[in-house]
Structure 1
Amino acid sequence: MKEIWNQWDDEIKQLFYREYDDLPYLLDVKVDKHLFRALAQYWNPAYSCFTFGKVDLVPTVEEYTTLLCCLRIQADKAYSRAANVPTFLKRLMSIAGMSEQWVVARIKQKGDSKCIHWKSL
Protein backbone atom coordinates (compact mmCIF):
# COMPACT_ATOMS: atom_id res chain seq x y z
CA MET A 1 0.00 0.00 0.00
CA LYS A 2 2.79 2.38 0.88
CA GLU A 3 4.46 1.79 -2.47
CA ILE A 4 1.23 2.55 -4.31
CA TRP A 5 0.68 5.68 -2.21
CA ASN A 6 4.20 6.91 -2.97
CA GLN A 7 3.64 6.49 -6.71
CA TRP A 8 0.60 8.79 -6.73
CA ASP A 9 0.90 12.49 -7.45
CA ASP A 10 -0.61 15.14 -5.16
CA GLU A 11 -3.81 15.42 -7.21
CA ILE A 12 -4.62 11.71 -6.83
CA LYS A 13 -3.73 11.84 -3.13
CA GLN A 14 -6.13 14.75 -2.63
CA LEU A 15 -8.92 12.81 -4.37
CA PHE A 16 -8.22 9.90 -2.04
CA TYR A 17 -8.30 12.19 1.01
CA ARG A 18 -11.63 13.64 -0.14
CA GLU A 19 -13.10 10.18 -0.45
CA TYR A 20 -11.54 8.51 2.62
CA ASP A 21 -10.61 11.46 4.85
CA ASP A 22 -7.49 10.85 6.94
CA LEU A 23 -7.33 7.09 6.44
CA PRO A 24 -3.93 7.34 4.64
CA TYR A 25 -2.38 8.34 7.97
CA LEU A 26 -2.59 4.64 8.86
CA LEU A 27 0.21 4.04 6.34
CA ASP A 28 2.59 5.84 8.71
CA VAL A 29 1.66 3.85 11.83
CA LYS A 30 4.66 2.16 13.42
CA VAL A 31 3.64 -1.41 14.23
CA ASP A 32 4.26 -2.48 17.81
CA LYS A 33 4.82 -6.24 17.44
CA HIS A 34 4.28 -6.94 21.14
CA LEU A 35 0.97 -5.07 21.16
CA PHE A 36 -0.25 -6.91 18.07
CA ARG A 37 0.83 -10.25 19.51
CA ALA A 38 -1.17 -9.49 22.67
CA LEU A 39 -4.19 -8.30 20.69
CA ALA A 40 -4.11 -11.37 18.43
CA GLN A 41 -3.99 -13.66 21.46
CA TYR A 42 -7.33 -12.36 22.73
CA TRP A 43 -9.08 -11.74 19.39
CA ASN A 44 -12.25 -13.80 18.94
CA PRO A 45 -12.94 -14.01 15.18
CA ALA A 46 -16.32 -15.67 15.71
CA TYR A 47 -17.66 -12.58 17.48
CA SER A 48 -15.28 -9.91 16.08
CA CYS A 49 -14.25 -8.79 19.54
CA PHE A 50 -11.61 -9.36 22.19
CA THR A 51 -12.44 -12.04 24.75
CA PHE A 52 -10.83 -12.01 28.20
CA GLY A 53 -12.17 -14.99 30.12
CA LYS A 54 -15.94 -14.55 29.98
CA VAL A 55 -15.79 -10.84 29.13
CA ASP A 56 -16.10 -9.63 25.53
CA LEU A 57 -14.76 -6.19 24.67
CA VAL A 58 -14.93 -4.10 21.51
CA PRO A 59 -12.64 -1.06 21.57
CA THR A 60 -13.95 2.24 20.30
CA VAL A 61 -12.28 4.12 17.46
CA GLU A 62 -10.76 6.43 20.09
CA GLU A 63 -9.28 3.46 21.96
CA TYR A 64 -7.85 1.96 18.75
CA THR A 65 -6.26 5.28 17.79
CA THR A 66 -4.67 5.51 21.24
CA LEU A 67 -3.43 1.90 21.19
CA LEU A 68 -1.96 2.33 17.71
CA CYS A 69 -0.64 5.85 18.36
CA CYS A 70 -2.67 7.23 15.43
CA LEU A 71 -3.33 10.60 16.97
CA ARG A 72 -3.90 12.23 13.56
CA ILE A 73 -7.01 10.11 12.94
CA GLN A 74 -10.21 12.02 13.63
CA ALA A 75 -12.33 9.71 15.76
CA ASP A 76 -15.54 11.62 15.09
CA LYS A 77 -15.66 10.46 11.45
CA ALA A 78 -17.04 7.22 10.11
CA TYR A 79 -14.46 5.40 8.02
CA SER A 80 -16.51 2.64 6.52
CA ARG A 81 -19.43 2.67 4.18
CA ALA A 82 -21.81 -0.16 3.68
CA ALA A 83 -21.80 -1.36 0.11
CA ASN A 84 -24.90 -2.66 -1.63
CA VAL A 85 -27.15 -2.49 1.42
CA PRO A 86 -30.43 -4.21 0.55
CA THR A 87 -33.61 -2.18 0.95
CA PHE A 88 -36.03 -2.85 3.77
CA LEU A 89 -38.27 -4.61 1.28
CA LYS A 90 -35.51 -6.94 0.04
CA ARG A 91 -34.31 -7.72 3.59
CA LEU A 92 -37.86 -8.49 4.70
CA MET A 93 -38.42 -10.73 1.67
CA SER A 94 -35.26 -12.61 2.57
CA ILE A 95 -36.13 -12.95 6.26
CA ALA A 96 -39.76 -13.91 5.73
CA GLY A 97 -39.07 -16.07 2.68
CA MET A 98 -42.09 -14.50 0.99
CA SER A 99 -42.75 -12.82 -2.35
CA GLU A 100 -42.43 -9.10 -3.00
CA GLN A 101 -46.22 -8.78 -3.36
CA TRP A 102 -46.79 -10.43 0.05
CA VAL A 103 -44.29 -8.12 1.75
CA VAL A 104 -45.53 -4.93 0.00
CA ALA A 105 -49.10 -5.71 1.10
CA ARG A 106 -48.02 -5.89 4.76
CA ILE A 107 -45.52 -3.01 5.09
CA LYS A 108 -46.91 -0.11 7.11
CA GLN A 109 -45.50 3.37 7.65
CA LYS A 110 -44.95 4.20 11.32
CA GLY A 111 -43.55 7.70 11.81
CA ASP A 112 -40.36 7.94 9.77
CA SER A 113 -39.93 4.16 9.60
CA LYS A 114 -41.43 1.28 7.70
CA CYS A 115 -42.48 -1.77 9.67
CA ILE A 116 -44.47 -4.96 9.53
CA HIS A 117 -46.75 -6.36 12.25
CA TRP A 118 -45.43 -9.32 14.24
CA LYS A 119 -48.62 -11.29 13.53
CA SER A 120 -47.77 -11.14 9.81
CA LEU A 121 -44.40 -12.73 10.48
Structure 2
Amino acid sequence: MSEQWVTARIQQKGDGRCIPWVSLRDLIVAHLDTKRKVDVFSLSIYGLAIFPKALRHIDEAVVEFFDRLDKGVTPVPAILTDTFRSLSACRKASKGRFIGCAQLLLVWFHSYFWKVDKVSYRAFSESYSLLKEIAAMSRRDDISEENWIALLRNLQEDDVEWRAHWFVPDEILYRCGSFDWAPLLRIWGAAGYAPLLVLRQYRSRQFIPMTHGLA
Protein backbone atom coordinates (compact mmCIF):
# COMPACT_ATOMS: atom_id res chain seq x y z
CA MET A 1 0.00 0.00 0.00
CA SER A 2 1.35 3.39 -0.97
CA GLU A 3 1.17 6.41 1.31
CA GLN A 4 -1.19 8.08 -1.17
CA TRP A 5 -3.50 5.02 -1.12
CA VAL A 6 -3.67 5.11 2.69
CA THR A 7 -4.15 8.89 2.91
CA ALA A 8 -7.15 8.71 0.58
CA ARG A 9 -8.89 6.00 2.64
CA ILE A 10 -7.93 6.44 6.29
CA GLN A 11 -10.75 7.56 8.63
CA GLN A 12 -11.01 8.84 12.20
CA LYS A 13 -12.87 6.39 14.44
CA GLY A 14 -13.14 7.43 18.06
CA ASP A 15 -9.64 8.10 19.37
CA GLY A 16 -7.91 6.19 16.57
CA ARG A 17 -7.34 6.31 12.82
CA CYS A 18 -8.53 3.30 10.82
CA ILE A 19 -8.68 1.84 7.33
CA PRO A 20 -12.06 0.36 6.28
CA TRP A 21 -12.05 -3.41 5.75
CA VAL A 22 -13.86 -2.96 2.44
CA SER A 23 -10.85 -1.04 1.06
CA LEU A 24 -8.48 -3.84 2.03
CA ARG A 25 -10.89 -6.41 0.56
CA ASP A 26 -10.85 -4.58 -2.78
CA LEU A 27 -7.05 -4.48 -2.64
CA ILE A 28 -6.86 -8.24 -2.01
CA VAL A 29 -9.13 -8.97 -4.95
CA ALA A 30 -7.32 -6.67 -7.39
CA HIS A 31 -3.65 -7.08 -6.39
CA LEU A 32 -1.47 -8.90 -8.91
CA ASP A 33 1.16 -10.11 -6.40
CA THR A 34 -0.05 -13.29 -4.65
CA LYS A 35 2.30 -12.89 -1.66
CA ARG A 36 1.10 -9.34 -1.06
CA LYS A 37 -2.51 -10.52 -1.32
CA VAL A 38 -1.81 -12.96 1.51
CA ASP A 39 -0.05 -10.24 3.54
CA VAL A 40 -3.03 -7.87 3.27
CA PHE A 41 -5.42 -10.73 4.11
CA SER A 42 -3.33 -11.59 7.19
CA LEU A 43 -3.33 -7.94 8.24
CA SER A 44 -7.12 -7.96 7.95
CA ILE A 45 -7.35 -10.96 10.30
CA TYR A 46 -5.14 -9.19 12.84
CA GLY A 47 -7.21 -6.02 12.64
CA LEU A 48 -10.70 -7.56 12.57
CA ALA A 49 -10.33 -10.66 14.78
CA ILE A 50 -7.21 -10.52 16.95
CA PHE A 51 -6.99 -6.77 17.72
CA PRO A 52 -10.47 -5.38 17.01
CA LYS A 53 -11.25 -1.79 17.99
CA ALA A 54 -13.70 -0.26 15.48
CA LEU A 55 -16.30 -2.46 13.78
CA ARG A 56 -15.30 -3.38 10.20
CA HIS A 57 -12.15 -1.23 10.40
CA ILE A 58 -8.42 -1.95 10.91
CA ASP A 59 -6.74 0.41 13.37
CA GLU A 60 -3.57 2.24 12.31
CA ALA A 61 -1.72 0.87 15.36
CA VAL A 62 -2.42 -2.70 14.17
CA VAL A 63 -0.88 -1.87 10.78
CA GLU A 64 2.29 -0.60 12.47
CA PHE A 65 2.43 -3.65 14.75
CA PHE A 66 1.87 -6.04 11.83
CA ASP A 67 4.75 -4.38 9.96
CA ARG A 68 7.08 -5.30 12.84
CA LEU A 69 6.29 -9.03 12.74
CA ASP A 70 8.74 -9.53 9.86
CA LYS A 71 11.45 -8.25 12.22
CA GLY A 72 10.90 -11.11 14.66
CA VAL A 73 8.49 -9.39 17.06
CA THR A 74 6.13 -11.93 18.63
CA PRO A 75 2.44 -10.96 18.88
CA VAL A 76 1.77 -13.23 21.88
CA PRO A 77 2.40 -10.73 24.75
CA ALA A 78 0.25 -8.06 23.08
CA ILE A 79 -2.59 -10.56 22.52
CA LEU A 80 -2.44 -11.70 26.15
CA THR A 81 -2.33 -8.14 27.48
CA ASP A 82 -5.28 -6.95 25.39
CA THR A 83 -7.29 -9.97 26.53
CA PHE A 84 -6.32 -9.34 30.16
CA ARG A 85 -7.20 -5.62 29.92
CA SER A 86 -10.57 -6.20 28.25
CA LEU A 87 -11.68 -8.86 30.74
CA SER A 88 -10.53 -6.69 33.67
CA ALA A 89 -12.47 -3.69 32.32
CA CYS A 90 -15.66 -5.77 32.04
CA ARG A 91 -15.16 -7.13 35.56
CA LYS A 92 -14.59 -3.68 37.11
CA ALA A 93 -17.69 -2.27 35.43
CA SER A 94 -19.75 -5.43 36.10
CA LYS A 95 -20.94 -5.10 32.51
CA GLY A 96 -19.67 -4.46 29.01
CA ARG A 97 -18.59 -6.41 25.97
CA PHE A 98 -15.32 -8.31 25.65
CA ILE A 99 -13.16 -6.70 22.94
CA GLY A 100 -10.58 -9.21 21.70
CA CYS A 101 -10.11 -12.47 19.88
CA ALA A 102 -12.95 -14.68 21.10
CA GLN A 103 -11.44 -17.78 19.45
CA LEU A 104 -8.19 -17.46 21.44
CA LEU A 105 -10.21 -16.80 24.60
CA LEU A 106 -12.04 -20.07 23.94
CA VAL A 107 -8.67 -21.86 23.71
CA TRP A 108 -7.75 -20.36 27.10
CA PHE A 109 -11.07 -21.58 28.54
CA HIS A 110 -10.41 -25.11 27.36
CA SER A 111 -6.84 -24.98 28.72
CA TYR A 112 -7.81 -24.00 32.26
CA PHE A 113 -11.48 -24.60 33.02
CA TRP A 114 -12.12 -28.19 31.98
CA LYS A 115 -10.30 -31.33 32.98
CA VAL A 116 -8.51 -32.96 30.09
CA ASP A 117 -6.23 -35.95 29.65
CA LYS A 118 -2.80 -34.78 30.74
CA VAL A 119 -0.04 -36.26 28.58
CA SER A 120 3.39 -35.26 29.90
CA TYR A 121 5.34 -35.74 26.67
CA ARG A 122 3.36 -32.98 24.94
CA ALA A 123 5.27 -30.31 26.82
CA PHE A 124 8.52 -31.58 25.32
CA SER A 125 7.23 -32.37 21.84
CA GLU A 126 8.13 -29.88 19.11
CA SER A 127 5.23 -31.14 16.99
CA TYR A 128 2.55 -30.54 19.65
CA SER A 129 0.29 -27.54 19.09
CA LEU A 130 -2.52 -26.65 21.48
CA LEU A 131 -4.19 -24.51 18.80
CA LYS A 132 -4.25 -27.43 16.33
CA GLU A 133 -5.67 -29.69 19.02
CA ILE A 134 -8.45 -27.22 19.85
CA ALA A 135 -9.23 -26.67 16.15
CA ALA A 136 -9.66 -30.43 15.63
CA MET A 137 -12.06 -30.81 18.57
CA SER A 138 -15.77 -31.13 17.89
CA ARG A 139 -17.62 -28.22 19.50
CA ARG A 140 -21.25 -27.73 20.40
CA ASP A 141 -22.85 -24.55 19.17
CA ASP A 142 -26.26 -25.12 20.75
CA ILE A 143 -25.35 -23.88 24.25
CA SER A 144 -27.46 -20.83 25.11
CA GLU A 145 -26.11 -17.65 26.68
CA GLU A 146 -28.06 -18.45 29.87
CA ASN A 147 -26.35 -21.84 30.16
CA TRP A 148 -22.92 -20.24 29.71
CA ILE A 149 -23.68 -17.74 32.48
CA ALA A 150 -24.89 -20.51 34.81
CA LEU A 151 -21.81 -22.63 34.05
CA LEU A 152 -19.33 -19.83 34.79
CA ARG A 153 -21.16 -18.71 37.95
CA ASN A 154 -21.15 -22.23 39.34
CA LEU A 155 -17.47 -23.05 38.72
CA GLN A 156 -15.84 -24.69 41.73
CA GLU A 157 -12.18 -24.56 42.72
CA ASP A 158 -11.67 -28.14 41.52
CA ASP A 159 -12.99 -27.19 38.07
CA VAL A 160 -10.15 -24.75 37.40
CA GLU A 161 -6.57 -25.66 36.55
CA TRP A 162 -4.57 -22.53 37.35
CA ARG A 163 -1.65 -23.94 35.41
CA ALA A 164 -2.30 -25.30 31.94
CA HIS A 165 -1.62 -29.03 31.65
CA TRP A 166 1.07 -28.43 29.02
CA PHE A 167 2.87 -25.72 31.01
CA VAL A 168 6.33 -26.63 32.32
CA PRO A 169 6.71 -25.41 35.96
CA ASP A 170 9.44 -22.79 36.09
CA GLU A 171 10.37 -19.45 37.59
CA ILE A 172 7.76 -16.74 37.02
CA LEU A 173 8.55 -13.10 36.31
CA TYR A 174 6.70 -10.99 38.87
CA ARG A 175 8.71 -7.80 39.42
CA CYS A 176 10.26 -5.14 37.23
CA GLY A 177 13.09 -3.25 38.91
CA SER A 178 11.76 -1.80 42.18
CA PHE A 179 8.12 -2.18 41.16
CA ASP A 180 6.04 -5.04 42.60
CA TRP A 181 4.34 -5.65 39.28
CA ALA A 182 5.29 -6.43 35.71
CA PRO A 183 4.23 -4.08 32.89
CA LEU A 184 2.65 -5.90 29.95
CA LEU A 185 2.92 -3.94 26.68
CA ARG A 186 -0.03 -3.89 24.33
CA ILE A 187 -0.75 -2.08 21.07
CA TRP A 188 -2.64 0.79 22.72
CA GLY A 189 -0.54 1.26 25.87
CA ALA A 190 0.32 -1.04 28.77
CA ALA A 191 -1.30 -2.94 31.63
CA GLY A 192 0.08 -3.97 35.01
CA TYR A 193 0.24 -7.60 36.13
CA ALA A 194 0.19 -7.98 39.92
CA PRO A 195 2.41 -10.53 41.74
CA LEU A 196 -0.31 -11.77 44.11
CA LEU A 197 -2.31 -13.00 41.13
CA VAL A 198 0.76 -14.78 39.78
CA LEU A 199 1.38 -16.45 43.14
CA ARG A 200 -2.21 -17.62 43.28
CA GLN A 201 -2.24 -18.90 39.72
CA TYR A 202 1.09 -20.65 39.43
CA ARG A 203 2.25 -21.33 43.00
CA SER A 204 5.79 -21.41 41.64
CA ARG A 205 9.12 -20.08 42.88
CA GLN A 206 9.43 -16.33 42.30
CA PHE A 207 12.48 -14.31 41.34
CA ILE A 208 13.43 -10.68 40.73
CA PRO A 209 14.87 -10.16 37.23
CA MET A 210 18.08 -8.26 36.57
CA THR A 211 17.28 -4.96 34.83
CA HIS A 212 20.89 -3.69 34.47
CA GLY A 213 19.84 -0.12 35.26
CA LEU A 214 16.91 -0.08 32.86
CA ALA A 215 14.46 2.59 33.98
For the criterion TM > 0.5, the same-fold answer is no
How would you bin the TM-score normalised by the shorter chain? under 0.3
Tell me which structure has the larger Cα radius of gyration: 1
